Amino acid sequence: MKRAGFGFEIVARDGAARCARLTTPHGVVETPAFMSVATYGAVRGLDPLELRAVGAQILLANTYHLHERPGEDTIAKLGGLHGFTGWSGPWLTDSGGYQVTSLADRLEVSERGVSFRSPLDGRTRLLSPESAMDIQQALGPDIAMVLDECVPPRDDAPDHAARAAAAHTRTLRWAERCKAHHHRPDQALFGIVQGGGSATARQESAAALREIGFDGYAHGGLGLGEAREERRALVEVAQAELPLELPRYLMGLGRPVDLLDGVAGGIDLFDCVLPTRHARHGALFTSQGLLRIKNTRYRDDPGPPDPACDCPLCTNHSRAYLAHLVHSKEALGARLASLHNLRFYLRLLERARDAIREGRLDALRAELDAVYPEDAASD
């Protein structure tokens, strides 16, 4: 990475997979890395100290939610995301585009940007490439994302192909405008590959983004219904067009096996709400597979949720106590389960980094595929 204060140094490889040190103005991230999602500037009831203790290196915040409340100006005045939230390590923000299109009403996408009615005050607003940059430059994360238009790979509407193609080319024009409007020297800017379910469009998108030139690249619009093999192929074809020496990020995915698929395909960064969302429903990722703590068999179980886990839940509490907390809707249950699931994800990436260094990523993937078979209801 050419930007001052940033660096991306690849330290080991295993096939297409790589281990690297991503340096940012707020610290180093060992990659491949999982970014915990702090939607409103906090990871679901967890504080920065305990996130650090379970191995979190970098957090992701949702630009759209923070723009609505408390607003980027307030956050900027209070020291940006780092000062405002107390997480002083690296931050990444999304562009807000995905949240707007999934949450807002009266959506209209035009060349100017995305206009929508705010669910908060009912007023119409415009999220443009320029305003997406302004907001993220005010929020102050270490890494900002371009505004993109996401069209799912699968869609039965008759005009799907035309819409996907239009979105893909518009996303490229928006990417140029984002780059032109991005001035903050201490913030990296990543481009986002789109193209729906078309390998050709994804390849074109990646090549065009590389031409524009970003500090890193992401794959967007995946994990939206396409099959695992299809996704791997769509990522692979785009990866081939992206510069090897820069970080790549697979947005919004996913299950543990999806992460290792990505790692094997040369992805460096991941984020997903699955660990915290599953935790709130009492579903725990463990070394023996998914454990649904509400199952009556755990009612009297004195053992730790996962005997192989070193998180505060598994170190201090029984399955029976967690089951009771979750059944009682006591907030401590969701908190401890979230911490556990994040520890599982963060530990999984630690293990992936070790495996890459030791040339045994395939063995780790085979182990995980056995514990989390494709047909298991893990999402």
Known catalytic residues are: 94, 271
Of the candidates 318, 357, 362, 367, which one interacts with a copy of itself according to CB under 8 A?
318
Piece in contact with a copy of itself (CB under 8 A), picked from 28-36, 142-150, 235-243, 322-330: 322-330
Is residue 334 involved in binding a copy of itself (CB under 8 A)?
yes
List binders of a copy of itself among 78-137 (CB under 8 A): 78, 84-86
d(CA 306, CA 212): 47
Is residue 297 involved in binding a copy of itself (CB under 8 A)?
no
Piece in contact with a copy of itself (CB under 8 A), picked from 23-31, 138-146, 169-177, 309-317: 309-317
List binders of a copy of itself among 68-87 (CB under 8 A): 69-70, 74, 77-78, 84-86
Of the candidates 183, 288, 302, 370, which one interacts with a copy of itself according to CB under 8 A?
302
Residues 349, 351, 357, 358, Cα dihedral to 10° = -150
d(CA 78, CA 65): 17
Rounded to the nearest angstrom, the gap between the alpha carbon of residue 176 and the centroid of all alpha carbons in its chain is 23
Give me the sheet containing 7-14, strands edge to edge: 7-14, 17-24, 27-31
Tell me how far, at minimum, the Cβ of 170 lies from a copy of itself, in Å.
Answer: 31
d(CA 237, CA 226): 16
Q: Is there a contact between 95 and 129 (Cβ–Cβ < 8 Å)?
A: no
Total chain residues near a copy of itself (CB under 8 A) = 40
Is residue 181 involved in binding a copy of itself (CB under 8 A)?
no
Residues 89, 180, 63, 258, Cα dihedral to 10° = -70
Which residues partner with 116 through β-bridges? 125
Give me the phi and psi of 330, to 5 degrees please. Answer: -75, 130
For a copy of itself, give the closer residue by CB, 44 or 231.
44
Give me the phi and psi of 127, to 5 degrees please. Answer: -105, 110
Tell me how far, at minimum, the Cβ of 49 lies from a copy of itself, in Å.
Answer: 8
Site string for a copy of itself, 24-63 (x = CB under 8 A): ---------------xxxxxxxxxx---------------
Residues 243, 244, 250, 254, Cα dihedral to 10° = 160
3-state helix, strand, coil in the chain (%, to 5): 40, 20, 40
For a copy of itself, give the closer residue by CB, 24 or 85.
85
Is residue 310 involved in binding a copy of itself (CB under 8 A)?
no
For a copy of itself, give the closer residue by CB, 73 or 374.
73
Q: Which residues bind a copy of itself (CB under 8 A)?
A: 39-48, 65, 69-70, 74, 77-78, 84-86, 299-300, 302, 312, 316-318, 320-321, 323-325, 327-328, 330-336
